[in-house]
A and B are shown apart, each in its own frame.
Chain A
Amino acid sequence: MGEDSGEVLNIRGLRVDFHTKRGVVRAVRGLDLSVRRAEIVGVVGETGCGKSVTALSVLRLIPRPGVISAGWVMFHNQDLLRLPEKHLRSVRGNRISMIFQEPSSSLNPVFRVADQIAEVLRFQVGLAPRVARGRAVDLMREVGIPDADVRARCYPHQLSGGMNQRIMIAMALACSPEILIADEPVTALDATIKGQILSLLRQLRDRHGSSIVLITHDLGIVAHTCDRVAVMYMGRVVEAAPVDVLFRWPLHPYTRGLLGSLPGLHLDRSELQVIPGSVPGPYDLPAGCSFHPRCAIAGVDCPESEPVLADVGDGHLVACHCDVGGLQ
């Protein structure tokens, strides 16, 4: 996990547990993920697979009763999980920033948008108030807000969802972070606005060389935006590969099921493929491979032991007991 391989973030063996009255929910169960410089990595999975918890863990923002119980999050040879809170603060929002799904609820409704961006510049970069304010308007222009000097004086409720998400991105970019973690950044936005925000994220990567971790449930967004993708199921990465490889040769039965269940834009009206059953509840985690009860090719080993994420060639990682490599 050296700098020479270009990795800026390396998550190894991450485990996050939530201790509730009904028992322990293992939200993340030994997750491995690496992010290289200027790379956009997609983390995709369905509700409850642990993708948002993973994102929050990187900056130790897990709310109670969640506890990070094991693992490392290596960022430039320092483990963020063991860094004193005081030092972590200089990383949060500064070298690693986050944006969330619902922009209007992440912004403070009683402050003007430019002042909210300026606040980051004052406290993280130490700019004087007047300078910070001017730089905030520049940032608004950079993220494509028309009439930035007018909009600067607006409150979040006066702007549309797409504009508010641009404000969030401007705020996240205020300190030119090395890594931007975007948790479902376009889910709340309309189809024609989605494309605008995603191309903005790509431009920012190209211009600043930031790495982006894009968390989403939408495989279309991954296909159009990411360089590499990790598919999560029940708290683990089950498959990870460069985007072109994953969509052309999906190997894990879960990934294949997900891709097959999407209605395409072609005229095929035959029944959609389905993954039988549904995602198990958080308290009844299946033994062994957690996908085996829904898997068409599950064998005798599958309920017994959890498969490890192994490289089947060219950086294509799969966690499956069956000889899925042969499918390639």
Chain B
Amino acid sequence: MSELLATHSLGKRFLLSGSGGYVKAVDGVSLTVAEGETLGVVGESGCGKTTLARLVLRLVEPTAGSVLFSGYDVTLLRKDQLRRLRSEMQLVFQDPTSSLNPRMNVQAALERPLRIHRTDLGASDRRELVSEMLVKVGLRPEHAVRYPHQFSGGQRQRICVARALMVHPRLLVLDEPTSALDVSVQAQILNLLRRLQSEFGLSYLYISHDLSTVRYMSDRVAVMYLGRVVELTTAEQVFTSALHPYTRALMAAVLAPDPSCRGRAAVLGGEVPSSIAPPTGCHFHPRCPQEAAVCKEAVPELRAIAGPVAHLVACHQRGGGAVPRPGDPAVFS
């Protein structure tokens, strides 16, 4: 698999008005997404996952690092070049209701990307492409004349997915695509996304706080905490042999829909610290059960762990070729 997207030490600082301080929303993030791959990005609110999505599409300007998309440095492109490249990377947002214009019918909404990126097409071509796409996302061609309020939440998200796919992008950034939806509808959208991925050969950057959907969707997973990636490996590895204490705590906090697992969910103490004044060294050290002196001092690097699969972890206690021990006594027992 060749790389479609790569970020190198990507960073974004937001200036705080008044105080002169700043928030490091994203801090030195290096990730790759291969052709046809889904990279899941998981973390709690304020960990910088949405800012990361916006940086990848250059909807906000980075303050450090670079974003390479099929070889081009997105951060250096001129406006016209960027516009051309954007047809290859599209975004689907969390709330389908607020991302559709209530005064635009479906036909107009889906035509919009074609009018911008495919100026060679005539009106009848556009109509035809819109009906085709509606069928592909599980709606009907006659839905084209309806307005967003005439659809349910799940159908609206289908419309948003259709709109993103109109220009045949290679990368789709999915920012919490199902968290505004009910569970029975969530399953429909997840199935749809997987089907479309194999049909169009899409790559996904799948951002979510929900571990069970990340597991279902992703090939590899990056775990973020306060702007930094703390662990990056295959989905299977993350869910069976996570090494970072934060990842383990996240896994342990999952409330599986099964009463026989009751009491197995371990509770992590403390709160997510403010990103305005994050803890020194390893951001996780005040909540970490394995905290040592070095953790307060130095920022741990994201380093590869020796083993059969690529596994990166940023932890002072788990560096230097320590072999993962699947099923070793949980840190939080």
- A-B pairs with CB below 8 Å: how many? 123
| Interface assignment of A298: CB less than 8 Å from any CB of chain B | no
**Contact among A190, A195, A265, A271 with B256 in the assembled complex (CB-CB below 8 Å):** A265
Interface flags for A208-230 (1: CB within 8 Å of B; 0: not) read 00000000011111111000000
Bound complex: CA A190 to CA B267 (Å): 12
Bound complex: CA A265 to CA B184 (Å): 17
| Interface assignment of B4: CB less than 8 Å from any CB of chain A | no
Taking the nearest CB of chain B, how far is it from the CB of A37, in angstroms?
Answer: 21
Whether A273 pairs with B256 at a CB distance below 8 angstroms is no
Chain A residues, CB < 8 A from B209:
190-191
Which of B153, B260, B267, B268 has the largest count of A CB atoms less than 10 A from its CB? Answer: B267
Chain B residues, CB < 8 A from A160:
271-272
Bound complex: CA A195 to CA B211 (Å): 15
**Contact among A46, A192, A195 with B272 in the assembled complex (CB-CB below 8 Å):** A192
| Interface assignment of A193: CB less than 8 Å from any CB of chain B | yes
Chain A residues, CB < 8 A from B256:
220, 223, 264-265
Chain B residues, CB < 8 A from A196:
267-269
Which of B153, B155, B191, B216 has the largest count of A CB atoms less than 10 A from its CB? Answer: B216
Chain A residues, CB < 8 A from B239:
265, 267
| Interface assignment of B101: CB less than 8 Å from any CB of chain A | no
Whether A247 pairs with B183 at a CB distance below 8 angstroms is no
**Contact among B182, B212, B259, B260 with A279 in the assembled complex (CB-CB below 8 Å):** B182
| Interface assignment of A129: CB less than 8 Å from any CB of chain B | no
Bound complex: CA A217 to CA B185 (Å): 13
| Interface assignment of A285: CB less than 8 Å from any CB of chain B | no
Whether B212 pairs with A224 at a CB distance below 8 angstroms is no
Chain A residues, CB < 8 A from B216:
263, 269, 272
| Interface assignment of A244: CB less than 8 Å from any CB of chain B | yes
Taking the nearest CB of chain A, how far is it from the CB of B236, in angstroms?
Answer: 6
Q: Which one, B90-98, B247-255, B309-317, is touching chain A?
A: B247-255
Whether A218 pairs with B255 at a CB distance below 8 angstroms is yes
Chain A's closest residue to B154 (CB) is A278
**Contact among B191, B249, B257, B265 with A247 in the assembled complex (CB-CB below 8 Å):** B257
Bound complex: CA A224 to CA B265 (Å): 8
Whether A273 pairs with B272 at a CB distance below 8 angstroms is no
Whether A192 pairs with B191 at a CB distance below 8 angstroms is no
Whether A263 pairs with B215 at a CB distance below 8 angstroms is yes
Bound complex: CA A200 to CA B194 (Å): 38
Taking the nearest CB of chain A, how far is it from the CB of B225, in angstroms?
Answer: 10
| Interface assignment of A177: CB less than 8 Å from any CB of chain B | no
Bound complex: CA A259 to CA B249 (Å): 25
Bound complex: CA A26 to CA B249 (Å): 43
| Interface assignment of A261: CB less than 8 Å from any CB of chain B | yes
Bound complex: CA A105 to CA B249 (Å): 29
| Interface assignment of A243: CB less than 8 Å from any CB of chain B | yes
Chain A residues, CB < 8 A from B290:
none
A192 and B187 in contact (CB under 8 A), knowing A265-B239, A278-B152?
no
Whether A192 pairs with B253 at a CB distance below 8 angstroms is yes
Chain A's closest residue to B235 (CB) is A267
| Interface assignment of A131: CB less than 8 Å from any CB of chain B | no
| Interface assignment of B258: CB less than 8 Å from any CB of chain A | yes
| Interface assignment of B129: CB less than 8 Å from any CB of chain A | no
Interface flags for A235-261 (1: CB within 8 Å of B; 0: not) read 000000001100100000000011101
| Interface assignment of B88: CB less than 8 Å from any CB of chain A | no
Chain B residues, CB < 8 A from A262:
183, 187, 212, 257
Chain B residues, CB < 8 A from A261:
183-184, 186-187
Taking the nearest CB of chain A, how far is it from the CB of B279, in angstroms?
Answer: 15
Chain A's closest residue to B190 (CB) is A272
Taking the nearest CB of chain B, how far is it from the CB of A189, in angstroms?
Answer: 9
Q: Which of A178-206 contact B (CB under 8 A)?
A: 190-196, 198-199
Chain B residues, CB < 8 A from A78:
none
Interface flags for B187-219 (1: CB within 8 Å of A; 0: not) read 110110010000000000000010111011000
**Contact among B44, B184, B215, B253 with A257 in the assembled complex (CB-CB below 8 Å):** B184
Bound complex: CA A262 to CA B187 (Å): 7
Chain B residues, CB < 8 A from A257:
184
A191 and B184 in contact (CB under 8 A), knowing A199-B267, A267-B236?
no
Nearest 10 pairs between A and B by C-beta? A220-B255, A261-B187, A263-B216, A46-B182, A272-B187, A190-B44, A219-B257, A275-B184, A195-B267, A278-B152
Interchain residue pairs with CB less than 8 A apart (11): A46-B183, A46-B184, A191-B250, A193-B272, A196-B267, A196-B269, A217-B182, A244-B260, A258-B183, A267-B236, A267-B239
A residues sitting closer than 8 Å to B (CB atoms) are 46-47, 160, 162-163, 190-196, 198-199, 217-224, 243-244, 247, 257-259, 261-265, 267, 269, 271-275, 278-279, 281
Kindly list 15 other residue pairs between chains A and B, CB separation below 8 angstroms, not including A194-B253, A274-B191.
Answer: A46-B183, A191-B211, A191-B250, A192-B44, A196-B268, A220-B254, A223-B259, A224-B261, A261-B183, A262-B257, A263-B212, A263-B213, A269-B216, A272-B216, A279-B182
